[in-house]
Structure 1
């Protein structure tokens, strides 16, 4: 069992979100080639939550927005938009979908909308937004390079 699954405080914060079929449906979408989107959002959420606790940040907002930050239902490698790139569009789609699911604080909205900062130009308003952005970037790279890391570990 993974650590997040046994962390009662974390689970009390996110279990209502994880119970939604709309969140569970994220498991049907590949994320960063070697993981599914549900696993990714939980990893971003829990890692950000643990760091927020250590840094004295709003761990509840980070945990909840981390679950919701990639709440979109298309394959970003296939679906293209006329209004901009996936990096620009999907945070807006995720925010719209999240707002249909649960009430959001201004901080949670900013975290979801700005989690692609660096690929987009909109500056985050909160330290929590930067945190989720950095954790998301780190985990995306780790997920993408998982087969290479496994190969190197096996052949070392």
Structure 2
């Protein structure tokens, strides 16, 4: 087998492995949070932007997937989480149901107040476990200084949320800068 064929074969196998893992993550999301994923209010979060151009809906699913990946890593270290609570808390952590970019739709200082609003909204629709409540209410730590996560599932979601938020924000900025440079190059060609 030639070198290029081996490379291609390795690339295809890596993709198949990723696809299997991703399918397993999605199955776990549906298994533990299918009712949330199908609810009208959760679906409505598609219309609210969270970071850059990423919707609250997409962000919440990303945080749940990242939380599951962190859980698998911790499991290898002998640290176990309640997967159902982890998934449901992650899906509902930003369940505030308004556009936080619209200054008239909510209290000021969204970052400080939205965990409480999300918890109230989720409590009205779902029977939350103490772990799920801890995840939702405390995911903004350390910004919400006195709301320290008490269970490991809340720590996992808090970490996953910070990672996903940073990634979404930086990738959006990178994309904007790339588009701006393309636009400037295009404008320079038009005037030159």
TM-score relative to the length of structure 2: 0.71
Which residue in 1 is equivalent to 2:41? 22
105-114 or 27-36: bigger deviation:
27-36
The 1:32–1:140 alpha-carbon spacing in structure 2 relative to 1, beyond 3 Å, is: same
Instruction: Please show how residues 137-152 of structure 1 align to structure 2 within 5 Å.
Output: 137-150=162-175, 151=178
The 3-state SS of whatever aligns with 1:49 is helix
When structure 1 is superposed on structure 2, of 45-54 and 124-133 the one drifting more is 45-54
1:7 Cα deviation from its structure 2 partner = 3.5
Q: Give the count of matched residue pairs.
A: 152
1:120 is paired with a residue of what secondary structure?
coil
Give the match for residue 128 of structure 1.
153
- Give structure 2 stretches of 5+ with no counterpart: 1-18, 75-79, 183-192
Q: Quick check: 1:87 aligned with 2:119?
A: no
> Which has the greater radius of gyration?
2
CA contact 1:24–1:38 (8 Å) conserved in 2: yes
Q: 2:66 aligns with which of 19, 43, 47?
A: 47
TM-score of the superposed pair, with normalisation by structure 1: 0.86
User: How many angstroms apart in 2 are the aligned matches of 1:75 and 1:5?
Assistant: 32
User: Per chain length, whose mean CA-contact separation is higher, i.e. which structure has more relative contact order (CA < 8 Å, sep 6+)?
Assistant: 1
Over the residues paired in the alignment, what is the CA RMSD in angstroms? 2.5
- Contact persistence 1:29–1:74 (CA under 8 A): yes
Runs of 4+ in 1 over 3 A off after TM superposition: 4-7, 147-151
Q: Any stretches of 5+ residues in structure 1 without a counterpart?
A: none
Say whether 1:116 aligns with 2:140: yes
Name whichever structure is richer in helix by fraction: 2
